[in-house]
């Protein structure tokens, strides 16, 4: 079994309107094609962010130890991430560090390809730039679902306010998230923004290291993911306050601190707040 990722990013103006695109293939079969509009950015930021997003999504699909070849038409990105060229720009160093954290760098190789051999990734980048939004297709594409009613059955809904801090995992352990047999398995859903994706991946790795059964995917609705199921649903999101407001039934404005954790239990639709914005 072999995994290959094609990535591309571009800016119309440099800096100007920018977007990224990537394609994930397994044994030559397209599993996911994705494009994301980035707003105003440079070509290099778009190229680096394309690799970051691609490895974040790949980490959700890969089995432990899976190797992947990343192919890009940016010589700069390939050479710098391969360690052959120095990274002088501070923004690029920060993005390169995030890339290394997204997936085990010892399992990733980078290959430069000519633009004509990177057409699908370029297509996804241009589509998202034209539409000023996110586009995706393929076997692993996420479906956007409508909001659902409160979940049935015994469900624990956990909301983590992104970005996560070093203290978040300590609080997750103290609240026994992923360790309570009544609320297994654990499903982690994250928003499409980078802080939420990074936090969800980090949390999934932590819970798996403790022996919990964990699934991870992108989602826009906590209750949609939790409906008609049991276990724990964790949503990692930058807009945690807006999610907790209706979910908790609070009449007050909720503005949880970054990295804080909230826990709400549902027993056949009856919601009980166990913790709201808990933070060390």
Quick check: is 223 in a domain? yes
Q: What is the DSSP code string of 79-133?
A: HHHTTSS---SHHHHHHHHHHHHHS-GGGEEEEE--GGG-HHHHHHHHHHHHHTS
3-class secondary structure, 169:
helix
Tell me the average pLDDT across 211-215: 86
Find out whether 32 and 62 touch, Cβ atoms under 8 Å.
no
pLDDT-based confidence at 58, cuts 50/70/90?
very high
Q: Are residues 29 and 104 in the same domain?
A: yes
Q: Are residues 160 and 125 in the same domain?
A: no
3-class secondary structure, 188:
strand
Quick check: is 158 in a domain? yes
- Residue 221 has a pLDDT of 55
**Average pLDDT of the chain to the nearest whole number:** 85
Quick check: is 145 in a domain? no
Query: What are φ and ψ of residue 9, in 5° steps?
Result: -150, 150
Q: What percent of the chain has pLDDT over 70?
A: 87
Find out whether 121 and 106 touch, Cβ atoms under 8 Å.
no
Q: Are residues 263 and 171 in the same domain?
A: yes
Q: Are residues 88 and 8 in the same domain?
A: yes
Find out whether 221 and 143 touch, Cβ atoms under 8 Å.
no
CATH code, domain with 217: 3.40.50.1240
Q: Are residues 11 and 128 in the same domain?
A: yes
Q: Are residues 14 and 131 in the same domain?
A: yes
Q: Are residues 14 and 128 in the same domain?
A: yes
Tell me the average pLDDT across 244-254: 66
Q: Are residues 195 and 123 in the same domain?
A: no
pLDDT-based confidence at 43, cuts 50/70/90?
very high
**206: Cβ–Cβ under 8 A, 6 or more apart, which residues?**
169, 172
Please give the tally of structural domains in the chain: 2
pLDDT-based confidence at 252, cuts 50/70/90?
low
- Residue 268 has a pLDDT of 66
Domain of residue 78: give its range: 3-137
Quick check: is 191 in a domain? yes
Find out whether 6 and 35 touch, Cβ atoms under 8 Å.
no
Find out whether 222 and 247 touch, Cβ atoms under 8 Å.
yes
Tell me the average pLDDT across 52-68: 90
pLDDT-based confidence at 249, cuts 50/70/90?
low
Higher pLDDT, 239 or 259: 259
Helices 43-61 + 119-131 axis angle, to 10: 110
Q: Are residues 12 and 122 in the same domain?
A: yes
Q: Are residues 129 and 56 in the same domain?
A: yes
Quick check: is 142 in a domain? no
Separation CA 177–CA 232 (nearest Å): 8
- Residue 19 has a pLDDT of 94
Structural domain ending residue among the three candidates 79, 112, 137: 137
And the tokens for 124? 């996804």
Tell me the average pLDDT across 131-159: 69
Higher pLDDT, 38 or 6: 6
Q: Are residues 184 and 117 in the same domain?
A: no
CATH code, domain with 14: 3.30.420.10
106-110, 155-159, 223-227: which has the highest mean pLDDT? 106-110
Q: Are residues 125 and 166 in the same domain?
A: no
- Residue 150 has a pLDDT of 46
Residue 147 has pLDDT above 80, yes or no: no
């Amino acid at each position: 079994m072999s995994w290959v990722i094609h990535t591309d990013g571009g800016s119309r103006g440099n800096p100007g309107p920018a977007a990224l695109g990537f394609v994930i293939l397994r044994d030559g079969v397209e599993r996911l094609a994705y494009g994301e509009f980035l707003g105003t950015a440079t070509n290099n930021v778009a190229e680096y962010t394309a690799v970051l997003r691609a490895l974040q999504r790949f980490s959700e699909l890969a089995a432990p130890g899976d190797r992947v070849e990343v192919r890009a038409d940016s010589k700069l990105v390939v050479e710098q991430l391969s360690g052959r060229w120095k990274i002088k720009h501070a923004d690029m160093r920060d993005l390169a560090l995030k890339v290394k954290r997204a997936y085990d760098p010892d399992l990733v190789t980078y290959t430069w390809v000519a633009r004509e051999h990177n057409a699908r990734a370029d297509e996804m980048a241009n589509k998202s730039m034209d539409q000023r939004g996110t586009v995706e297709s393929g076997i692993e594409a996420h479906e956007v679902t409508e909001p659902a009613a409160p979940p049935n059955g015994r469900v624990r809904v956990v909301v983590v306010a992104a970005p996560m801090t070093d203290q978040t995992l300590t609080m997750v352990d103290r609240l026994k998230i992923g360790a309570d047999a009544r609320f297994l398995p654990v499903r982690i859903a994250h928003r499409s923004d980078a802080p939420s994706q990074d936090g969800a991946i980090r949390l999934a790795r932590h819970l798996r290291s403790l022996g919990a059964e964990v699934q991870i995917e992108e989602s826009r609705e906590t209750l949609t993911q939790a409906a008609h199921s049991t276990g724990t649903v964790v949503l990692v999101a930058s807009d945690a306050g807006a999610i907790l407001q209706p979910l908790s039934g609070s009449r007050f404005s909720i503005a949880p601190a970054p990295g804080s954790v909230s826990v709400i239990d549902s027993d056949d639709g009856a919601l009980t707040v166990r913790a709201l914005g808990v933070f060390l």
